[in-house]
Amino acid sequence: MFFGSRYEIGDADEADALDDRNDPRLAAAKQGALDTYIGRLTDGEPYFLLIGRRIGVFGIEGETLKDYSEDELTQIASQTRVLMASLGLQGPLRFWFQLEAQY
């Protein structure tokens, strides 16, 4: 689970080529100490990039339970929104619950 922006990435070559030296979004995220994650749902699906605050990773190999108060989530969203705007990161800010199936 992330709060931030989600970007569609093309193919595996494009995803593999992403790093903070050639992608301005990743460079800005690194500068602002934001969390990033590159993944895809399953083989054959497009890759995605999440930038913002990682709130949790859930599943068999991740967490099974985590709780936040409404105030904590509001604070995470507010701080992330300000930081992303100051870094010039564009895109709709949302809470993202992204399944990544094992393949």
Looking at the domain assignment, is residue 103 inside a domain? no
In a domain, 102, yes or no: no
pTM over 0.85: yes
Q: For residues 84 and 79, what is the distance between their CA atoms, to the nearest angstrom?
A: 9
Contact 87, 28 (CB under 8 A): yes
Look up residue 36 and give its two tokens: 């990033």
Q: Is residue 76 part of a domain?
A: yes
Domain region containing 42: 2-96
Cα 75 from Cα 101, distance rounded (Å): 30
Q: What is the pLDDT along the chain (103 residues), one digit of tens a residue?
A: 999 999 999 777 788 788 767 888 999 999 999 999 988 888 888 889 999 999 998 877 788 889 999 999 999 999 999 999 999 998 999 999 988 776 5
CA distance 103 to 100: 9
Q: How far apart are CA 35 and CA 80, in angstroms?
A: 10
Q: Does 32 map to a domain?
A: yes
Count of domains observed in the chain: 1
Q: What SS3 state is found at 2?
A: strand
